[in-house]
Amino acid sequence: MSMTSLIVGTGCMALAAVLATGFTAIVLIAIASGVVAVAGTYYRRRIGGITGDCLGATCQLTELAVYLGGVVS
């Protein structure tokens, strides 16, 4: 996947989320991005890369963080 595709796809989904839910979507997107960035950094430092198990764990952590962020905000 090219960086352009990633940016365009992320932008389109963020716009759709903001239009659907308003300001809350911005907070939840920030939470999800933060969890993914921290997890990716941890995986690279701890095991030198990202595996399928890491991807699955990150999906679960991100989902939980977004749910908790939605309840709080």
What tens digit of pLDDT does each residue of 13-35 get? Answer: 889 988 988 888 888 989 999 99
Which domain range does residue 60 map to? 3-72
> pLDDT tens digits, residue range 48-71?
988 999 999 999 999 999 999 988
| Per-position DSSP letters for the chain, written without gaps between them | --HHHHHHHHHHHHHHHHHHHTHHHHHHHHHHHHHHHHHHHHHHHHHSS--HHHHHHHHHHHHHHHHHHHHH-
73 band by pLDDT with thresholds 50, 70 and 90: confident
- Name the domain count of the chain: 1
